[in-house]
């Protein structure tokens, strides 16, 4: 494990304890730091349980009894001192969701940050910007990129154009702010592809890359998703995405409710799911990894949730957990280390010879599912994962590592 993984774990525990959570509660949301080479994530002889990750309440109490070796808990001063813009790229089909990715930081009424949402403009026009919060902490740009269920090759150029033409982003950089990209789920490979394209000179970038410090993949679908593989297969365990698309085409009202109300959306969905699957993710990774800018620091953090932790019965009234549980059943035979949608090894930043080893920083995994790290609730549920404390521990660790 890295010192940074230890530090993130320490911060997360202490942030939770400072909010009054008990050792028993903290143990429900955390795994201990680990070395990736100690885990047998996939393949023959893969780990069949969570014994290498488990923390018990006494472990938490013992940690809290020790004098902290990594400083004090984050407070508002930490954010106010950082001249950083967090550029948030959300996940697949984000425009159809009830809540936004990075939910508490974006949509909280009392957010300490200056939060701007960047949206596509009309054809030939500059992107639109909507202010969500006017705090004096970090700058946070939530990028609502177009055609979010399309394949990545359809997204990256318009995504670049949105960022390059954003008045807020350019203005913040002129004020001396540096950029840090956060990619959640599908947003992670999109961000990596964009950074590689910028470094390769594909786009006429005058200010983005030279002012970027790093990247965080948050449960990123970087290496591919076994769930996407499954729904594309001739005999899926869960459902056939082609059957869903065809059904929505025959029943426009249901298609509209499902976010597939137009022929373009349905075509994008078929292409986009393919872009989430292993074949295309691995192919594109081989192309972009050698082009990733070597000067940046690349962070990753995952999630792992045992099947027994899901609320998976109808009488528990948690559609989020039930849906993720059904999806986790696809990945579970491949690896117990999954978040319901992505296996831990596919969250990792690709190794590339031009990137120094110390610039690859895996911060570990938390004990929740794929939606838990990002949403208050995806659709209908009661997701109690402590995201604010999680975000604070992440940001505090990353700021110190940059």
8 Å CB contact between 286 and 223: no
Query: Reading across the β-sheet that carries 139-143, which strands appear in turn?
Result: 128-134, 114-119, 139-143, 84-89, 178-184, 212-218, 297-303, 360-366
CA proximity to 73, closest of 389, 398, 402, 401: 389
The Cα-based distances of 38 to 4, 46, 52, 311 in angstroms read 17, 11, 8, 30
> Is the alpha carbon torsion for 262, 266, 271, 273 positive or negative?
positive
- Kindly tell me the burial class for residue 45, based on how many C-beta atoms sit within 10 Å of its own C-beta (0-12, 13-18, 19 or more): exposed
Q: Tell me the CATH class for 76-225+277-401.
A: alpha beta
Q: How far is 220 from 277, CA to CA, in rounded Å?
A: 12
- Please enumerate in sequence order all residues whose Cβ is within 8 A of that of 389, keeping only pairs 6 or more positions apart, or say none: 12, 15, 16, 19
Give the model confidence (pLDDT) of 138-151 as tens digits.
Answer: 999 999 988 888 88
Domain-wise residue ranges, the chain: 76-225+277-401, 227-274
- Please enumerate in sequence order all residues whose Cβ is within 8 A of that of 196, keeping only pairs 6 or more positions apart, or say none: 288, 289, 291, 292, 293
Give the model confidence (pLDDT) of 222-266 as tens digits.
Answer: 999 999 999 999 999 988 888 877 877 888 787 777 777 777 777
Instruction: Determine the pLDDT at residue 360.
Output: 95
Give the model confidence (pLDDT) of 50-87 as tens digits.
Answer: 999 999 999 999 989 887 655 555 555 677 778 999 99
Q: Flag whether pLDDT at 221 surpasses 60.
A: yes
Strand partners for 118: 129, 143
Q: Flag whether pLDDT at 289 surpasses 70.
A: yes
Orientation angle between helical segments 156-164 and 187-199, nearest 10 degrees? 70
Lowest mean pLDDT among 204-218, 250-264, 283-297: 250-264
Give the model confidence (pLDDT) of 256-277 as tens digits.
Answer: 777 777 777 777 788 889 999 9
């Amino acid at each position: 494990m890295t010192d940074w993984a230890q530090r993130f774990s320490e911060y997360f525990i202490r942030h939770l304890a400072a909010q009054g959570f008990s050792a028993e509660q903290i143990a429900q949301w955390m795994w201990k730091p680990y070395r990736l080479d100690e885990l047998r994530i996939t393949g023959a002889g893969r780990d069949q349980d969570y014994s290498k990750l488990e923390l018990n309440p006494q472990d938490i109490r013992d940690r809290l009894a020790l004098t902290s070796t990594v400083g004090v808990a984050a407070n508002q001063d930490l954010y106010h001192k950082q001249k950083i813009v967090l550029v948030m790229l959300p996940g697949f089909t984000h425009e159809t969701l009830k809540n936004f990715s990075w939910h508490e930081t974006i949509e909280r009424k009392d957010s300490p940050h200056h939060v701007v949402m960047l949206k596509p403009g009309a054809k030939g026009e500059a992107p639109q910007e909507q202010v969500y919060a006017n705090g004096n902490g970090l700058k946070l740009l939530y990028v609502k990129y177009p055609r979010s269920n399309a394949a990545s090759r359809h997204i990256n150029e318009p995504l670049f154009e949105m960022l390059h033409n954003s008045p807020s982003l350019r203005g913040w950089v002129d004020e001396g702010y540096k950029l840090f990209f956060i990619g959640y789920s599908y947003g992670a490979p999109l961000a990596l592809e964009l950074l590689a394209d910028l470094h390769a000179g594909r786009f006429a970038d005058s200010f983005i890359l030279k002012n970027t410090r790093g990247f965080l993949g948050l449960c990123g679908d970087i290496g591919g998703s076994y769930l996407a593989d499954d729904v594309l297969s001739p005999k899926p365990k869960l459902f056939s995405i082609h059957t869903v698309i065809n059904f929505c085409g025959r029943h426009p009202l249901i298609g509209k409710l499902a976010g597939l109300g137009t022929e373009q959306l349905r075509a994008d969905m078929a292409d986009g799911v393919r872009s989430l699957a292993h074949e295309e993710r691995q192919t594109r990774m081989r192309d972009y990894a050698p082009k990733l800018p070597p000067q940046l620091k690349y962070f990753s953090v995952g999630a792992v949730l045992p099947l027994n932790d899901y609320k998976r019965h109808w009488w528990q009234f948690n559609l989020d957990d039930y849906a993720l549980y059904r999806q986790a059943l696809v990945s579970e035979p491949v690896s117990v280390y999954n978040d319901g949608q992505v296996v831990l090894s596919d969250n990792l930043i690709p190794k590339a010879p031009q990137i120094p080893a110390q610039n690859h920083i895996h911060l570990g995994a938390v004990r929740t599912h794929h939606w838990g790290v990002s949403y208050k609730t995806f659709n209908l549920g009661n997701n109690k994962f402590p995201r604010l404390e999680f975000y604070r521990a992440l940001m505090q660790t990353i700021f110190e590592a940059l």
